[in-house]
Amino acid sequence: MSNIEEIKKKLKALNAEYAKIKNIALEERKAFGIKLNEKRSELQRELQEAILTEETESIEKIDITAPCAPNQKIPEIKRGSHHPLMMELRRVLSIYSHMGFNIMEAQQLDDEFHMFESLNFPEGHPARDGYDTFRTAEGFIPPAHTSTMQHRALKRYKKDLENGGQIAVVIPGRVFRNEDVDATHEHTFYQCEGVYVGKDTTFAQMLGVLKNFFEAYYGQNLNIKTQPGYFPFTEPSVELLIEKPKTLGGKGDGWLEMLGCGMIHPNVLKMAGINPEKYKGFAWGGGIDRLVMLKYGLNDVRYFESGKLDFLKEF
């Protein structure tokens, strides 16, 4: 019998003693009761100790200093990997940072001011409809584009302008749209925004920066062209297209729209406390998903958010 059971048995016997109290002469009852109570407390203490001892002894003892058995097979560890979009984003940022751009990270929850007002979309502006996204119960906005960061970038690096330099920032971020999802539309995707402001900034410089970027990313010379676009925060506004590279399946005939860009609207500069008479800038924003899909010949944007391991393991 284990020690625990023995003590339990003694306790049971003791409980039976209590039944005798009523037969004991009145003057002795008190002393008898006190004695029984003392005995019971003692047994209960012993029981607790016995339980603790048994528990401690049952814990498996492991010698953590023991040497590995010489032929012991070390279990194979399944390693995770970076998501293809994050790997490619790293390449994108590396190209821009070699060009001298700073990097800021976009917010995943923003507000009305940064989503619209700071970008020269006054209240009731019809172009707001083009950026249909979600709202949290508290009224925060999961941003529909990374341009929501322009105002913050301008303010944060304004001092570089005042010190005779330029503002040069790229801002990658996750963005959200209230879309019907299909092979080319996702509710959640990634963009990279760029902002450049200096004294004599020109539209031609913008085209040079962007052409350089695409050539570095795809590792080949590319043709680019623009077509008119409209964004309230740039004037003029254009869409930039690249000719589909032959090495990536292009037949010398297709143009692909890669991003929106333009010269920063004077109102956007003014709102960030930058004098548009003195400084000019350009900005652009484009999807990372699209960039990566072209590089790897993917035809369905939904793979990125799907969590499909077969797909992820190919990278």
Binding site for ligand DAH (CB under 6 A): 145, 147, 193, 231, 233-234, 237, 260-262, 283-285
For ligand DAH, the closer of residues 284 and 304 by Cβ is 284
For ligand DAH, the closer of residues 40 and 156 by Cβ is 156
CB of 233 to ligand DAH, least distance (A): 6
For ligand DAH, the closer of residues 233 and 279 by Cβ is 233
CB of 169 to ligand DAH, least distance (A): 11
For ligand DAH, the closer of residues 283 and 293 by Cβ is 283
Residue the block writes with tokens 């249909």 = 132
**Long-range contacts, 116-124 (Cβ 8 Å, 24+):** 117/271, 118/148, 118/150, 118/151, 118/268, 118/271, 118/272, 119/147, 119/148, 119/150, 119/151, 119/232, 119/233, 119/268, 120/232, 120/233, 120/265, 120/267, 120/268, 120/271, 121/232, 121/233
For ligand DAH, the closer of residues 107 and 234 by Cβ is 234
CB of 223 to ligand DAH, least distance (A): 21
For ligand DAH, the closer of residues 217 and 231 by Cβ is 231
CB of 69 to ligand DAH, least distance (A): 59
For ligand DAH, the closer of residues 118 and 147 by Cβ is 147
CB of 149 to ligand DAH, least distance (A): 10
CB of 162 to ligand DAH, least distance (A): 23
Contact 25, 57 (CB under 8 A): no
CB of 130 to ligand DAH, least distance (A): 7
The Cα 290–Cα 283 span in angstroms is 19
For ligand DAH, the closer of residues 7 and 148 by Cβ is 148
CB of 103 to ligand DAH, least distance (A): 16
